[in-house]
Structure 1
Amino acid sequence: MKLKITFLIAFLFCVQLSIGQKAVDRVFYGRIFTDTIAAENVNVLNSRTGLTTASDSKGLFHIPAKTGDALVLSAVNLETRRKIIKDEDLNSNLIILKMASKVTELNEINVNENSQINAVNLGIMPAGQKKYTPAESKLYTAQSGILDPLLNKISGRTTMLKKEVQVERNEKLLLKLDGLYEDQFYIETLKIPQIYIKGFQYYIIEDPDFVRALEAKNKTLMLFYIKKLALNYSEIISNEN
């Protein structure tokens, strides 16, 4: 009986230690390529922590992360890519990430005399039905049915899909935010150092009040909230340094 109790205590201790280790941030090492060329100055953001870094002339970078974190890779001339970190990624010496060059499409003018023809009018989609984004559609499917929701929850697929929906939402908000303010506004007015601008943008799109103002295109409220958030973010930077 004593042997069983000792074994149970040892087992629970190992489980707790294992869980505790997973919660600690480690360092993710990556190298970015476009085709066969190393990609320099690619911005890498950990969407959970808001920490950013950039790839060097050899495409190399490293950033604190843990399993399940989403890294967002972006550059002016490259298609934005996101990478969900797995256990094996953190145990590897180096992860190779490939990014695609942006393709500039010419504006196309369509003359459509049948503009009233759409999925609703054709009876394909009921009026008022919610339109899902690709990530939302995957999550909806994973949570539908009888057995699928339980199996997906146990396997962790539902959690991963929820993170993908969040990343997709953030990317859309960043597109709306892009171009609203010049870098000089962040640096001179908000006193945000240039290397922290991208991280600050991810920080403010997590604030519900600012997001509502952004969605409503209310520039007065946006300015009010962004100045308030800049003070908080500056304090975070100061504490980290």
Structure 2
Amino acid sequence: MKRLFFIFTLVLLSLYANSQSIEISGKVESLSNVENIHVINKTQQLFATTDKRGVFVITAKLNDTLIFSSIQHQVKNIILTKQMIIDKVVYIKLEEQINVLDAVTVGKVLTGNLMSDIKNTEGDPPIDFFDVGIPGYQGKPATQSERRLSEAGEFKPKMLLGFLGGGIPLNPILNGISGRTKMLKKRVAIETREELMLSIKARLSKDFLASNPLKDDLVADFFYFCADDQNFLKHCKNQTDFKILIFLRMKYKQYKENFNQK
């Protein structure tokens, strides 16, 4: 009787231990970059990202499903085994994502014969500012609203000193009085938020929605809901994917609560 009780106790303890979540350390190996790979615990709807060495830590338990995903790699799913739980360590090797495109011929085919190819080539090569030896802007092109805001100018009190010299810039003053500058600033801010939101949606939605499901017709609405948050830029602009995913998870809970109250 005592022996049966002892065996029964061991079984219960084993079942209890297997049902408990613990921290699992892991390392991802690949021939390409292993930083910022998304590690998703699909079972418990948790996520983590790898550091520059491919190392990550995530909470999990026996039989949980982990998903490894990045733009550069093929998606890989694993189910945590008893040995992995005992060791508290997981090693994963990812294969690179290879996109094969159909061959496309654009323009005339060059034969390798110099005189023949010259005759078949039409037009002059484009000239840029490097060709003529002058400095040029190499950054991100300004949007239409940003260009209009720059042209409108911004009124500053020191501009009034222009009266003393016989000249004063009228555009900033007139646009400030009419409210056009304020309107353009608001438009630029809205476009900045939307551009960042669309970038996050394109880059992270697949991994995020794997553990935070939404109907297809609600996905766009959810990301606009995130962008409307007054702290959206603070939490998402120039931040790591991990911090952005934490913000999205917080907004997901709010979105579901609001949706259920309708």
Larger gyration radius, structure 1 or structure 2? 2
